[in-house]
Structure 1
């Protein structure tokens, strides 16, 4: 119960006691009760007085704390960095702190009871009046404070309203924050942004123009690269060896044709000296690498595999923009096959001319020796008894004349060939027959190795006698090349001759061929002799042991059968003769079965041909 309530209760009890005391007669019991009630009232009054004193002390303490808080908030209000104003609803200033006075450019005392609008710049007053009429419509806005003899100040305003006990707005609280420097920075940033926009626009225009130029250059370079790729493709397609070297002779470009011709990849050739990389034969002549003049001529190179290549070389200087020589372009065309074909043509022409001459000589000798044979046959008849003592001499004369006739017949065969009939032959059969004959007639120190697959059933159109002569001549030469013994190998294989390969041989046509290889492990043939082995009357054997017609006859007979001969040899490592004969269609009747490699040859062995070169 509150103190005022208790006091009121004590007062009422006191009135009741007074009323009881005013009565005439009061019962003692009632008086005692009244006294007790009075004492109780006095005690309650005393307690209420104590409680009242305590409340007074608490009230004083609260007042002191309130004063402290008021002073603290007043200090904060006064020393705040932002301007604080308290106005009525029409903008009349009632209180302002130091910061507000500084923003308005007046002392604090001069601001009280002054309308705030007088400190607003003239340009912002209409908008200030409109917002002041309804301050709650927009809580934050900006205005400019201006005054005489001072720079305008741009401030941000926040307004709050305090209501009176009736709930009506009676007081406005203003927060004024100086944003002049911020506005200046914003203005500087805006100017910088505009300047940057202009620079960006100008730079963008420059970049656009540069990009257009770059695109044009890229298109030009792309077109140039495309042209270079086309030229490079053309260079790679050309079979000629094309390379460039600087004036010091260092190779800077190496085409695919050069890789094929010189058997060197580009990685191994680039950066290497041309004179050391490309091995010229000692007799060959080429200008030095430092010579930038034009030159053309034939050169002979030795490839890494040891093959000799003849090229038609053309050198052309390359100039820089100042017309000074900076490199040399070399184009080498492989004319090895042409040179070989020329040699074959010259050899064929020489053989033809010698054949014609040999035919004439053989005809004259045949006419001269014919009467000798006729006379000796007549004198050796039994009817000529008186000549019997001279029979041995006559037999010797006839034998010598017969050998001369055989030689003349070989000259005629070499010179004009023979008109004997040619028929389709199973090529395995004559090879097996020759192999069997050689096993019976050659020395035991020579091993005959026929390598003739049973499934190779190729036919050639040939004269059996001439084919036999070709094989026997090659095999006898191979045996003669192995005086200390060795291995003679006979092989048969198919071969597809391409048009490019056919160009390397006179009258050769592309197509299917069979290749008969006669290989020996003998002494071999020197490079100088290898160039002349098919020449008539050329032999490396001692005098009286060879006529030099064996290989030339082989060459002529093979050529007359539409084929050609290849030979490869190395001193001390033997020789290989390859006879290429065109394949023919099989005849309608079934061919006779081929003879086994070790079968007996039909009939008595023919006499061994005379020695040749």
Structure 2
């Protein structure tokens, strides 16, 4: 999606404004934007140019959202006005909506921003269309009055007493009198008595029966006989009661007028047929095209001279149209074609078929393409012959979007499953990591120590897999940290050697100390692994996979010609294979979400799309070159940085912080994790009280309130959950420091919204060093606070 959007930001924070802009650009908007923070600046911006949408912060030093809405109303502009605030209560939000705002969002959750803007843009367009429609209705009514007044046909209306209440100019001209003199008179005042009685009787019949009366009558008003077509209809009030009679009559003496009207009607129908937005075909009983509209010519892209005489499948380019020498409709597959069946039934029985869905493999210019067609059939007469009106609508894109939606829903299901698995695995991995760490410190010999290191390393690798599951399933991001390129390639080399088929040879070129990448290491690993998996799949018969890394400098000349490039030093990563290569027509689409050339069930079409997202997120570039049957080369450029000065020296093992006899309340329903954590704290100088659930923790805290200096608690527990327990403990001691333990990254944010003070977060799985460091940090931070 690359939707242009002219956006006016009412925001005092340049940082927040750019955050909103980046969010919208990430979600596919091409922005032209301006930030204002005063009423005067907003007025100037509204006068200077037109805007598509306005986003406004609620509270600013010199301005606010209600003021911005008032300025917008001064200009009488119907623009979507959305409040985006860091914190806004429900009452204020309701007040803004009542004042005319279209929506409100919180800055810490911008996931609804793009959908909200798209919705409000559609609503604004609908309002504009409605106003146009209302104006057209008023114009139509005025036009109707004007038409009636100026119709060449005579129009008059009478009440039930026979008095004329309205007459148009044509009727006045027919009688040779001004219209003002006709109003209020009866037929006896205007016509001979015999003719007046005839008119009166006709009026009475219409009024009594409530039916339309049509007749052809002689008229001598002009001094010569003229034949008039007369149509009399009853006039009714809002309740449906007859209040009078309307008569319309016109001169039908000249047949030319009727012929002209007929020709006009035919032209209108032909115009409707020609300009209909769907493909319209008229087929004879041999299913050959005899007539087609402009939409058909545009869709099929063939000269009009080539269309007539073709059958539907031949026109669509169906690959089965040549299965039989007789052409479309006679091949073995044709009998199961829904369009063929609908046509045959319409021809045989005259039945109408609507919205028949058919999938066709079409071949054009040597390329095959699967298209989805929505077809309708009806039996009609044209030029006196029975024909089938065949309506076609291309729904290929719609069907593809529905398929994408189903795939997205499946991925969301994987995310929910990943969250549940992460919780269970974290409870398993944490005891293994801590127990192996403590046992390693007390190991009797080197062989035993190495075995424990292997166990600890495997547990850490399991923790990494859990984080990757969460990152994929829920979009959770890890912390930004320094990542060495050489370590990245070495990690992937180990995974490839252990998991890829043996007929794929791996060659790597590991860079030296060229600097570091800054970002989420999980995402960097995912990016490189996806590229390697893509290369593996391109070599089903085996081949050579090459992963190379080095440093390059991009100058300003290169940056000026390469989109999104900036001058600087970059880590260049090349992933090359000797596989099938990529067809030239697919190169422009390989990074599109859900696009895949793999067979059904072999790929989701998300691998390269996620690679592109990770590269762009970290300020990088990606380029691919390939030729069919000559392999492919993916080149990624990522910015390099100097290593952080605070990074510990290689091989340096910091001493574990020790306790000083402080009492800690440990709360966890997982017995194994609770036991290992208990032992780790005891062995490092702490006194520990243990609770199996939240209810027991509250009881223990009430009994030992004066002794407990820190609570270390899980979140997901029976009887009384972590958040509920925390609220109760904080009522007993508002300044109580708490370290919460959870494997779900969003829990910390949720708890901070409830109890933000003296709260620390320890993510699962953790080792002894993590546990002791977080415990000491919480105790020292609390001790350093001034007394309440």
The TM-score, its normalising length taken from structure 1, stands at 0.40
Structure showing greater relative contact order (alpha-carbon pairs closer than 8 Å, 6 or more residues apart): 1
Structure ID, larger Rg:
1
The TM-score, its normalising length taken from structure 2, stands at 0.32
